[in-house]
């Protein structure tokens, strides 16, 4: 698909603002030149018109929603939604920690506008009606070479907006590009400035990195620039930490990176952080025996600081804490079943994490512990074993009818659940009722026992 086909949906808007020229810019143009354009890309467009002048030129029924104070708007025209920005030059306070410009002024051309952007690969313009690219800074060459270079002096670009530091790593993960030496050095120099960003902004950029097609490239860039140490200090501490060669091919940090690559979507964060407690374990204990516990605690702190949802944090922390369960694969069946029942809600994810952990040793492709857990879980399902008291084939009302009262109902329910879990009785209504009646009968005072009156 050529660029003209990709941007055909923008032609009505471009025609509506003639004689002004409409340009597509940013990721949609870059991805089109890479041959990776989405079928319905996110369009960023620009021209020399301020948003209010653009709105005046468009017919009724077009929606233009200005973004306060930044010369931009969301435009919905003829069924195509795009983010519109007027050509401008931004002003920043270099000593500040905010990524927002403190002011701007309109400029007349794409060449001037390009200097406010982050990387040259994102500063290639496509004239929608002419069907031609405009490359004022050499961005096409950078796209062809797979390099991230800043549009101006790297120190100035990174100092202006700390979000660009995080974007460098995100683009490395998403595009597979390498950062040039100047950009990387500037990130190292100004990495402390990301402390001033909101948790939500840092999390959004990091999540983008974790979804990248070239995840390892992004993680390496995050480590080399100091981003990783700012967001996940416990993980970064594992750099260079050697592991037994009989069990691992990589040091602890590289193992984490490989594990994140091997893990399925949705588990990559847990995989990345699963062993981050190893460095702390070595400092505190001289061994790695309790690294899962240490890692769960540090991951909870790091993820919470980034504002991740509580449910996501809780699940990730559980996965990290439990990934070493039955490390020698010798747990007795009752212990195994108890573990399965207690963690049924995350069992598939836990097994997938264990497998990724094994793959990331560089020595294995399977995880026998995960296979045993999954096999026993399947046996339990097939034989009707309950995974919680609520799955028992007897209700509280039926237990009350037997004669149990108040807290006794919950107690006998728990006892029956455990007997079913361990296989001493089937999860069958009649069998459970019989067991409950037998238990109740034993609770009754014996005729003629102590305290009876004749």
- In 151-275 the beta strands, taken as DSSP E runs, fall at 178-179
Question: How far separated are the first and last CA of the chain, in Å rounded?
Answer: 100
Provide the b/e sequence for 37-60 (b: ≥16 CB within 10 Å): beeebebbbbbbbbbeebbeebee
Residues 257 and 329 placed together within one structural domain of the fold: yes
Residues 75 and 94 placed together within one structural domain of the fold: yes
Position 85 in a domain: yes
Residues 409 and 438 placed together within one structural domain of the fold: yes
The Cα–Cα gap between 422 and 101 comes to: 64
**Domain end residue (candidates: 199, 214, 231):** 231
Position 90 in a domain: yes
Provide the b/e sequence for 243-269 (b: ≥16 CB within 10 Å): beeeebebebbbbbbbbbbbbeeebbb
The pLDDT, as a whole number, for residue 389 is: 94
Position 263 in a domain: yes
**Per-residue pLDDT tens for 243-268?**
988 889 999 999 999 999 999 999 99
Residues 157 and 86 placed together within one structural domain of the fold: no
* Residue ranges in the chain modelled with pLDDT below 70: 1-2, 39-40, 61, 68-70, 94-99, 445-454
**Domain end residue (candidates: 209, 231, 253):** 231
Q: Is the dihedral of CA 296, 300, 303, 306 positive or negative?
A: negative
Place of tokens 């212990």: 335
Residues 129 and 152 placed together within one structural domain of the fold: no
Domain containing 96 — which CATH number?
3.30.460.10
Domain containing 357 — which CATH number?
1.10.3210
Residues 348 and 398 placed together within one structural domain of the fold: no
Q: Take residue 433 and report the two structure tokens written for it.
A: 């009722």
The Cα–Cα gap between 216 and 210 comes to: 9
The SS3 assignment for 84 reads strand
The pLDDT, as a whole number, for residue 241 is: 95
Residues 78 and 197 placed together within one structural domain of the fold: no
The Cα–Cα gap between 5 and 24 comes to: 13
Residues 119 and 160 placed together within one structural domain of the fold: no
**Per-residue pLDDT tens for 394-437?**
999 999 999 999 999 999 999 999 999 999 999 999 999 999 99
Query: Between the CA of residue 450 and those of 385, 453, 454, what are the distances in Å?
Result: 41, 9, 11
Least Cα distance to 282 among 326, 225, 246, 244 occurs for 244
Position 454 in a domain: no
The pLDDT, as a whole number, for residue 451 is: 44
Position 102 in a domain: yes
Domain count, the chain: 4
Residues 183 and 277 placed together within one structural domain of the fold: no
The pLDDT, as a whole number, for residue 95 is: 53
The pLDDT, as a whole number, for residue 37 is: 75
Position 450 in a domain: no
10 Å Cβ neighbour count for 231?
A: 22
Least Cα distance to 319 among 347, 298, 342, 281 occurs for 347
The pLDDT, as a whole number, for residue 39 is: 65
**Domain end residue (candidates: 115, 142, 169):** 142
Domain containing 177 — which CATH number?
1.10.110.30
The pLDDT, as a whole number, for residue 291 is: 97
Residues 21 and 125 placed together within one structural domain of the fold: yes
Residues 338 and 269 placed together within one structural domain of the fold: yes
Residues 6 or more apart whose CB falls under 8 angstroms from that of 327 comprise 369
Residues 245 and 315 placed together within one structural domain of the fold: yes
The Cα–Cα gap between 209 and 231 comes to: 13
Q: Is the peptide bond before 197 cis (omega within 30 degrees of 0)?
A: no
- Domain containing 289 equals 232-382
The pLDDT, as a whole number, for residue 445 is: 64
List, in sequence order, every residue forming a beta bridge with 222; answer none if it has no partner: none
Q: Kindly report the backbone phi and psi dihedral angles of residue 406, in degrees, each rounded to the nearest multiple of 5, phi listed first.
A: 50, -125
Position 56 in a domain: yes
């Amino acid at each position: 698909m050529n660029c003209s086909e990709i941007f055909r949906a923008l032609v009505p808007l471009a025609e509506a603002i003639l004689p002004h020229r409409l340009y597509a810019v940013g990721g949609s143009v870059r991805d089109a030149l890479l041959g990776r354009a989405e079928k319905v890309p996110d369009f960023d467009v620009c021209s020399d018109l301020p948003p209010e002048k653009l709105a005046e030129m468009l017919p009724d029924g077009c929606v233009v929603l200005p973004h306060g104070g930044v010369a931009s708007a969301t435009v919905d025209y003829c069924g195509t939604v795009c983010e519109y920005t007027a050509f401008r030059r931004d002003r920043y306070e270099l000593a500040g920690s905010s990524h927002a410009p403190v002011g701007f002024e309109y400029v007349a051309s794409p060449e001037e506008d390009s200097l406010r952007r982050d990387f040259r690969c994102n500063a290639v313009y496509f004239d929608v009606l002419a069907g031609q690219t405009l490359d004022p800074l050499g961005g096409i060459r950078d796209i062809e070479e797979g390099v991230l270079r800043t549009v101006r002096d790297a120190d100035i670009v990174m100092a202006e907006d700390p979000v660009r530091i995080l974007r460098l790593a995100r683009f490395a993960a998403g595009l597979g590009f390498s950062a040039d030496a100047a950009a990387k050095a500037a990130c190292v120099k100004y990495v402390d400035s990301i402390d001033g960003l909101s948790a939500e902004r840092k999390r959004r950029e990091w999540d983008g990195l974790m979804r990248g097609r070239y995840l390892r490239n992004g993680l390496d860039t995050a480590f080399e620039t100091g981003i990783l140490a700012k967001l996940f200090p416990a993980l970064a501490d594992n750099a260079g930490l050697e592991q037994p060669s009989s069990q691992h091919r990589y040091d602890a940090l590289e193992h984490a990176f490989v594990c994140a690559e091997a893990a399925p979507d949705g588990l990559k964060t847990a995989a990345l952080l699963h062993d981050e407690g190893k460095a702390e374990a070595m400092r505190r204990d001289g061994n790695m025996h309790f690294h899962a516990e240490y890692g769960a605690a540090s991951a909870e702190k790091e993820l919470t600081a980034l504002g991740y949802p509580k449910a996501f944090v809780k699940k990730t922390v559980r996965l990290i804490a439990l990934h070493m369960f039955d490390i020698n694969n010798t747990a007795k069946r009752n212990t195994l079943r108890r573990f399965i029942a207690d963690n049924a809600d995350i069992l598939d994810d836990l097994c997938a994490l264990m497998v990724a952990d094994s793959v990331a040793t560089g020595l294995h492709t399977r995880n026998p512990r995960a296979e045993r857990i999954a096999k026993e879980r399947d046996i339990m399902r097939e034989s009707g074993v309950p995974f919680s008291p609520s799955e028992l084939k007897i209700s509280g009302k039926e237990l009350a009818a037997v004669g149990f009262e108040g807290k006794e109902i919950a107690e006998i329910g728990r006892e029956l659940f455990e007997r079913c879990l361990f296989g001493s009785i089937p999860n069958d209504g009649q069998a459970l009722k019989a067991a409950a009646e037998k238990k109740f009968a034993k609770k009754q005072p014996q005729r003629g026992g102590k305290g009876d009156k004749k």
